[in-house]
């Protein structure tokens, strides 16, 4: 009911549907259970994104590409038409850096660049041919952000994440957008998804199938809808301590666990799809 009445969400869905038809849609900021703060299973998140019509996702776990590699292996092995971009989110003294298109051979190197000096991180991933940018430059969650708001620093990068669905208020995204426009940067949007119900509220549109090329050519377009649920935000970091999650992790066999989560999440997804259909019918 809430969604149906929210005109902003309505226009977001409308735009998402038309962008899906006219090009390619990616979530460029997704965590998996390979990040300590997320519990998402690769198979489930892939099937949920695919059902919503996403072309692919960038898996950007904190300081590791293990989940991204496993996800890529999974889609290739099962012939799933869904693109996995191997990425990572690296913490520095001045905020978070996103790197895309990381070579699988760097699997042991990547963790060494988590919690490192910002210039070391950028130089390393740039030297390896990655597409490098800043995540949520105006978030409240990270304290020292002065360097990643510096124009000269930004201009050395490939993109600015101008929409991050986990920002507490949309104003943070507006500031990031303003900055990206000022510095003439490519723009991306990411759900910064840690939990299944957060899936689908942010996407980056690319007019060509190769979104990394589109970023380099500054042809991407960010879009997203701020779903203001503080609860899912607050759960970040605590999920693994929730008794039910603990129990699931301990008692249930992996395959069974997957099934339980899947059926729960498909229900959630269907709710979204129904809303989408409703909106279509209304127009
Ligand atoms: Zn971050
Ligand atoms: Zn993140």
Q: How far is the CA of 190 from the centre of ligand 1 (A)?
A: 10
Cα separation of 120 and 257, whole Å? 40
Q: Residue 131 sits in which domain range? A: 2-282
Do residues 189 and 25 make contact, with C-beta atoms less than 8 angstroms apart?
Answer: no
CA atoms 69, 72, 76, 78: torsion sign: positive
Q: How far is the CA of 236 from the centre of ligand 2 (A)?
A: 11
Q: How far is the CA of 62 from the centre of ligand 2 (A)?
A: 7
User: Domain containing 162 — which CATH number?
Assistant: 3.20.20.140
Q: Which ligand is nearest to the CA of 31?
A: 2
Q: How far is the CA of 2 from the centre of ligand 2 (A)?
A: 27
Cα separation of 42 and 165, whole Å? 20
Q: How far is the CA of 32 from the centre of ligand 1 (A)?
A: 13
**How many separate domains does the chain show?**
1
Helix-strand-coil percent breakdown of the chain, rounded to 5?
50, 20, 30
Q: What is the pLDDT of residue 245?
A: 43
Q: 161 pairs with which residues across the strands? A: 188
Do residues 144 and 95 make contact, with C-beta atoms less than 8 angstroms apart?
Answer: yes
Mean pLDDT by 10 residues, the chain (283 residues): 63 93 98 93 95 97 98 98 98 94 98 95 98 93 77 96 91 92 96 92 96 97 80 48 47 44 54 49 41
Q: How far is the CA of 118 from the centre of ligand 1 (A)?
A: 14
Cα separation of 207 and 188, whole Å? 13
Q: How far is the CA of 152 from the centre of ligand 2 (A)?
A: 24
Q: How far is the CA of 267 from the centre of ligand 2 (A)?
A: 25
Q: Which ligand is nearest to the CA of 61?
A: 2
Look up the pTM and report it. Answer: 0.81
Q: How far is the CA of 269 from the centre of ligand 2 (A)?
A: 22
Cα separation of 176 and 172, whole Å? 6
């Amino acid at each position: 009911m809430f969604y149906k009445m929210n005109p902003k969400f309505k226009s977001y869905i409308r735009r998402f549907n038309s962008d899906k038809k006219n090009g390619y849609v990616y979530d460029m900021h997704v965590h998996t259970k390979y990040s300590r703060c997320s519990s998402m299973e690769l198979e489930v998140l892939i099937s949920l994104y695919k059902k919503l019509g996403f072309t692919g996702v960038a898996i950007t776990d904190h300081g590791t590409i293990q989940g991204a590699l496993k996800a890529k292996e999974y889609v290739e092995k099962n012939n799933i038409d869904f693109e996995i971009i191997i990425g990572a989110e690296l913490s520095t003294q001045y905020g978070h850096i996103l790197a895309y298109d990381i070579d699988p051979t760097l699997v042991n190197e990547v963790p060494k660049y988590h919690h490192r000096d910002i210039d070391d991180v950028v130089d390393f991933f740039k030297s390896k041919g990655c597409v490098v940018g800043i995540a949520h430059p105006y978030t409240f969650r990270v304290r020292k952000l002065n360097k990643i708001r510096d124009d000269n620093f930004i201009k050395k990068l490939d993109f600015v994440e101008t929409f991050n669905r986990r920002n507490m208020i949309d104003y943070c995204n507006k500031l990031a957008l303003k900055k990206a426009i000022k510095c003439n940067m490519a723009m991306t949007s990411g759900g910064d998804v840690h939990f299944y119900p957060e899936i689908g509220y942010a996407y980056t549109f690319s007019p060509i199938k190769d979104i990394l090329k589109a970023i380099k050519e500054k042809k991407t377009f960010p879009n997203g809808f701020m779903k203001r649920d503080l609860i899912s935000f607050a759960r970040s970091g605590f999920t693994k301590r929730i008794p039910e999650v603990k129990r699931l992790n301990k008692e249930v066999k992996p395959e069974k666990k997957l099934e339980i989560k899947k059926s729960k999440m498909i229900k959630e997804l269907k709710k979204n799809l129904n809303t989408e259909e409703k909106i279509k019918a209304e127009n």
